[in-house]
Chain A
Amino acid sequence: MSPPSPVQLINGVEFLLWLAGRRQRLVVYHRSMVPTLQPGDEILFNPRSYTQRRPQPGEIIVLVHPQQPGLPLVKRVERILEEKIWVVGDNGEASTDSRQFGAVDLPQVLGQVTCIFSRPVLAVPLKPPARR
Chain B
Amino acid sequence: MMNLQFITRLIQHYKPATAAVSAHCDGPCGVYDPSSARIAAEAVLSMTKKILDLQPPAAGDVTARVAYENTISRYIAIKEEQAQITKDELLILWTDYFKPQHLEQFPDLHTTFWQAAKLCSSCKVEVSQQHASDLMSAVEKIHSMFWATKNREVAWYTAS
Contact = CB atoms under 8 A, between A and B. Distances in A.
Interface string A104-123: 00000000000001111100
Contacts of A100: 95-96, 99-100
Interface in B9-30: 9, 11-12, 16-17, 19-30
Query: Which of A39, A71, A118, A131 gathers the greatest number of chain B CB atoms within 10 Å?
Result: A118
Contact of B96 (A33, A96, A118): A96
A12 B4 contact: yes
Contacts of A79: none
Contact of A28 (B23, B26, B88): B23
B28 A94 contact: yes
Q: Is the interface of A mostly helix, strand, loop or mixed?
A: loop
Interface of B: 4-5, 7-9, 11-12, 16-17, 19-30, 85, 88, 91-92, 95-96, 99-100
Interface of A: 9-12, 15, 24-34, 37, 39, 42-43, 62, 65, 67-68, 71-75, 89, 91, 94-97, 99-101, 117-121, 125-126, 128-129, 131-132
19 contacts: A10-B4, A10-B8, A12-B4, A27-B19, A30-B22, A31-B25, A32-B23, A72-B19, A72-B21, A91-B23, A94-B27, A99-B100, A100-B95, A100-B100, A101-B95, A117-B8, A117-B17, A131-B88, A132-B85
